[in-house]
Amino acid sequence: MNLSEADAASPESSGARQEASQPQTPSPRRLFAATDYITHEQFEIVVNAEHGWAQTQPTPAPKELAAYYPAGYYGTHRDKRFPSVIERLQDALYRYRARQLTLMNGGQPGRVLDVGCGRGLLLAQLQKLGWDVVGTELSEGSASYPREVLGLPVQVGDLADQHFPSGHFDAVVMWHVLEHVIDPAATMREVNRLLRPGGIFLIGVPNFASLEARVSGDKWFHLDVPRHLNHFTPHSLRRALKRTGLRVRRMQFFAPEFDSFSFVQSTLNRLGLRPNLLYNLLRGRTAKVIGADEGAGNLAPQVAATILLGGLLGVVSIPATLLAAALRQGATLTIYAEKQTEREA
């Protein structure tokens, strides 16, 4: 969906004046309404006609966004966010991605920035491979685990406020972060500035064009309004990266730690069970996101149904998500993009 332009007016017969063409931005196109499963507030999913991806509206102001991230969202030092088997799977996948990023960087470590590094698990794996690492997080609370437990250098604040030098990094990572930022286009421009020519941008986002997203609609697990402010398709993200001077080198449609569970939880949501209840049950004791007002007594029948059906769906999810990935319809996108040199640009 490209920006349209008004036709330029013809010069007046006297030749004294010629009107310049005036760009007109098409109005956003509404897709559907969606409800926040935590606060129960309602939002709209609309297509941004200028950029091509969908957005959550109304967009909460920056100072308001923190209210949509419960205290347990990031977990604590004392309690795991997820069961040990899931965290071991995450560690294995982060080791794999750290090796892939190293290979993309010519087989050698370099300087890497992880924007929105979370608990710092990927950054820790990169450090083990010899990378010079730094991460960012938006709050002192979310930065505490990678800093205090893993001993990683993590700065607090927006990316643009860090004032890193231009061309400083060999790689920048945004692993399931871009969907959370208010201005993705500006963020991608800043990533481009920070990368050296030929540097790698590793990005992961939910795939809004996936079969799962289209079938699930407002029940899709990865919709997660209003924490997810942006909803990207492969086409819209590739185009945005190209506009920024970043060329896609590899695009993958499968992330095991996300896709199988998303299939299960989205299906449970569509069956009418309490939205994202299984997700909340799997989170650690201090990492719950569904409020105490919805206690175990009120949810007991749904908990039982969620556990029973979740186990059955978990078996089905494996072949289903592998087939979706093979058809380039997976619920997540993983992209390795490269900053173009001046000659290529």
Residue 18 has pLDDT above 50, yes or no: no
Task: State which amino acid sits at residue 249.
Answer: R
Q: Give the Cα separation of 88 and 91 in Å (integer).
A: 5
pLDDT tens-place string over residues 180-194: 999 999 999 999 999
Q: Give the Cα separation of 64 and 44 in Å (integer).
A: 17
- What does the domain layout of the chain look like in residue ranges? 32-339
Q: Give the Cα separation of 229 and 225 in Å (integer).
A: 7
Residue 89 pLDDT class (50, 70, 90 cuts):
confident
| Per-chain mean pLDDT for the chain | 88
Tell me, what DSSP letter sits at residue 341? P
Q: What's the fold here for domain 32-339?
A: Rossmann fold (3.40.50)
Q: What is the pLDDT of residue 285?
A: 75
Full-model pTM: 0.87
Helix (H, G, I), strand (E, B) or coil at 54: strand
